[in-house]
Amino acid sequence: MTAIENSTAPLPPMEKDAAIRKPPIRLLLLPAGTLIGLLLICALVVLRMSLGERNAEWTGWSLRAYTQLASSRNIGIIVDTIWMALLSALITTLVAFPIALFLTRTTSAFARRLVLIAILLPMIISLLVQSFGWMAILGPNGLLDQAISAATGIERPFSLLFNRTGVMLGLVQTSIPLAVLPTAAALRSIPLSLEEAANVLGANRLRTYRHILLPLAWPGMAAGAILVFGVNTGAFVVPLLLGGLKVMTIAVVIRDQMGTFSNWPLGAALSVLLILLALAVQSLNRLIVRTNVEIKR
Amino acid sequence: MKQNPVLEVRNLSRTFAQGAVRAVDHIDLDVQPGEIISILGPSGCGKTTTMRIIAGLESPTSGEVRILGKDVAGKPPHKRNVGLVFQSLAIFPHMSVKQNVAFGLRMQGLDSKLIETKVAKALELVQLSPEKFAERRPSELSGGQLQRVALARTLVTEPALVLFDEPMAALDRRLRDYMAVELRAIQKQLGIAAVYVTHDQETASMMSDRVIIMSAGKILQAGTPEEIYEAPNSRFVSDFLGDTNTLRIARVLDQEDGTSLVQTDAGLAIRVANCSAIAEGAFVIFRPEQTVVHSADPGGAFEGKVVSSQFRSGLYRWQIVLPGGNTLIAQSTENRLASSAGDTAWVTIDSGKARIVSQ
């Protein structure tokens, strides 16, 4: 965000006889800028379609899609989606903190590399593959089932697939890298001497975490949480496969409307909602970063 | 009546890499009430490790640390009643000056009114006006001001012993000298016992009642700054405290009444007072200011050629090569040579000040 703003700010006037003319720095943004411009056009197309009539998305004008969007079923799904994204952001951030602390504190380069690779795997492996993995573990007659049955003799004691718990597991697992990396970056910038100073000044381990480590790592943790929340509001593959159409999210409904039901305006209206959510989250991010600006020296 | 020492370190060792590296090698030291001692040595000599063990931030391999007579083995830093001013200062960046200074008191669970009073007092002690600085953020302070905050934050908790880990290393020479004088004054005023760890011998000399010279994990010499400067027991100590002329002794020409006439391996005959036994392969050492240069032969002087001359902070300094190949550094507050490089000069050595060391 800031990079784009800076580039549009007027450049300082250059002296006429300056020996070396610097190439304008905004040229650097050209490739990415083109893509973002295309994305913007797509967003506008979606906006237009959301205001169209069914089967006349380009010619008609109507707010029908938005009234459909406000139906109690859809509102339920929207609230559900936001709630799951929020919960997954919270859980992921909590899970990520000790991992990030380990990454920054371990003295073994081997252990650090190993953990880092494990953390990054979800970003490298296709979401589809990860979800099928979860299905193989959690599904009926899956690994977990078999293990529990073998241990207790009870057939199908509980199910973690095709319900919220399963979706939540998937959402948390797939977004761990998004939370670990910014948290680790924030922790890495905290000198060990700050903790030692607190320690010598009479703070035990717990109080050192509370008064020094957590407040200083907070911007990184918040950035991670917001990232996870933003990504998971648009979650599609994980809820589709692990929720099995029993757990609906906005993205799953968009696919249903645009695909199965050919209701492009409603799908587009839901998409507009997702875009607005993303923008809202982004501005939240800026708010938090701004209030913590003094921490960075 | 002799008071009990604030700090007693006994036979302290710390090894790394399964004993292959001896960072601290059987060290003994005491700090008396109201005394400030410096541990002085080059980087990697074990001085910082020693200090961190005293603070409880590292554990010793063997040996004992006693604070106010109590063995503190296994006690975490926050239960040791020790203050530490870090090299990096370690000011908490997310807290105001007041919050930084109040931190230790808050951890002690003091009442907020009392904390307020104590913080204001501590800030005044380090000459930061509470009205002006209490609410400031660390990012708004200069290096010298941060220094004062770190000092106030440590002193306000009234620790039994204050440790300093080269906190002034980042300051420029003038500010460092100024802070050293001020820190010394505050320390005397409050009567705190302190250990100051540094590689900067000037600061150490200015600040300390006693200096301990460390190298490779061992204590080489301990004494008042003056004693050690005047009577170093080795070439290393002498070199570390300032420029030294070091000449290897080839043989002893004459010896009577504690005064020896020795000949260096370059063939110079030097008279040294106050020395008895001279071991094989010993050195004669003397400082640049313990020589006198002359522009004409005063009789009994060494004749040599001036290689270079400098003037710095009121001191004149010459490098003079003697015929045998030895180069002497001579120093004076007067410009005793009108000569420049290449001219002939004569040097005499103060035999009362020259010393003989075996290594």
Residue pLDDT, tens place only, B302-359: 888 888 888 888 888 889 988 877 888 988 888 777 666 778 888 888 878 888 888 7
Q: Of B208, B236, B264, at which residue does a domain stop?
A: B236
Length of chain A: 297
From chain B residues 155-174, the ones with a CB under 8 A of any chain A CB are 157
Distance of alpha carbon A123 from alpha carbon A180, whole angstroms: 12
Q: How many CB atoms within 10 Å of residue A217?
A: 26
A197, A202, A297 member nearest B86 (Cβ): A197
Do B67 and B201 belong together in one domain? Answer: yes
What count of CB pairs under 8 Å joins A to B?
66
Domain count for chain B: 2
Chain B neighbors of A201, CB-CB under 8 A: 78, 83, 103-104, 107, 153-154, 157
Q: Is A5 on the interface with B (CB under 8 A)?
A: no
Say yes or no for a CB contact (<8 Å) between B77 and A199: yes
CATH number of the domain bearing residue B108: 3.40.50.300
Q: Of B236, B268, B301, at which residue does a domain stop?
A: B236
* CB A85, CB A232: distance < 8 Å: yes
Give the distance from CA A157 to its chain's centroid: 33
How near does any CA of chain B get to the CA of A290, in Å? 14
- Give the CATH class of A72-295: mainly alpha
pLDDT at A8 over 60: no
Please report, rounded to a whole number, the percentage of residues in chain A having pLDDT higher than 70.
89
Distance of alpha carbon B130 from alpha carbon B100, whole angstroms: 13
pLDDT band at A20 (very low <50, low <70, confident <90, very high): low
B84, B92, B157 member nearest A212 (Cβ): B92
Say yes or no for a CB contact (<8 Å) between A197 and B90: yes
How near does any CA of chain A get to the CA of B13, in Å? 22
Q: Is A210 on the interface with B (CB under 8 A)?
A: no
Do B49 and B142 belong together in one domain? Answer: yes
CATH number of the domain bearing residue B330: 2.40.50.140
Average pLDDT over residues A243-259: 90
pLDDT score of B18: 82
Do B279 and B140 belong together in one domain? Answer: no
List the single range of A68-77, A133-142, B4-13, B130-139 with lowest mean pLDDT: A133-142
Do B293 and B163 belong together in one domain? Answer: no
Structure tokens at A52: 């169209």
Q: Of B197, B215, B236, at which residue does a domain stop?
A: B236
pTM, rounded to two decimals: 0.80
* CB B54, CB B82: distance < 8 Å: yes
Chain B neighbors of A215, CB-CB under 8 A: 94
Structure tokens at A119: 């953390």
How near does any CA of chain B get to the CA of A212, in Å? 8
Examine the predicted complex and report whether its ipTM is higher than 0.90: no
How near does any CA of chain B get to the CA of A12, in Å? 27
Structure tokens at B220: 């080489």
pLDDT band at A286 (very low <50, low <70, confident <90, very high): confident
Distance of alpha carbon A7 from alpha carbon A27, whole angstroms: 9
Q: What residues make up the domain containing B126?
A: 7-236
Domain-located, residue B95: yes
Segment B163-198, tens digit of pLDDT: 999 888 878 888 888 888 889 999 999 999 999 999
Distance of alpha carbon A197 from alpha carbon A194, whole angstroms: 5
Domain-located, residue B129: yes
* CB B222, CB B213: distance < 8 Å: yes
Sequence-ordered alpha helix ranges (H) in B192-350:
201-207, 225-230, 235-241
pLDDT at A52 over 60: yes
How near does any CA of chain B get to the CA of A291, in Å? 11
Do B152 and B37 belong together in one domain? Answer: yes
From chain A residues 235-294, the ones with a CB under 8 A of any chain B CB are 294
Say yes or no for a CB contact (<8 Å) between A193 and B88: yes
Domain-located, residue B242: no
Do B327 and B207 belong together in one domain? Answer: no
Do B338 and B196 belong together in one domain? Answer: no
A194, A199, A207 member nearest B92 (Cβ): A194
Chain A neighbors of B57, CB-CB under 8 A: 196, 199-200
Which of the residues in chain B have pLDDT under 70?
1-2, 274, 276, 338-340
Integer angstrom CA distances of residue B258 from B48, B232, B248, B286: 41, 19, 20, 18
Longest dimension (CA), chain B: 77
How near does any CA of chain A get to the CA of B223, in Å? 29
Domain-located, residue B241: no
From chain A residues 172-201, the ones with a CB under 8 A of any chain B CB are 191, 193-194, 196-201
The answer for B314, left when phi > 0, alpha when psi is -120 to 50, beta otherwise, is left
Mutation target for B interface from A190, A195, A196, A200: give the one with most B CBs within 10 A: A200
pLDDT score of A295: 44
pLDDT score of B1: 47
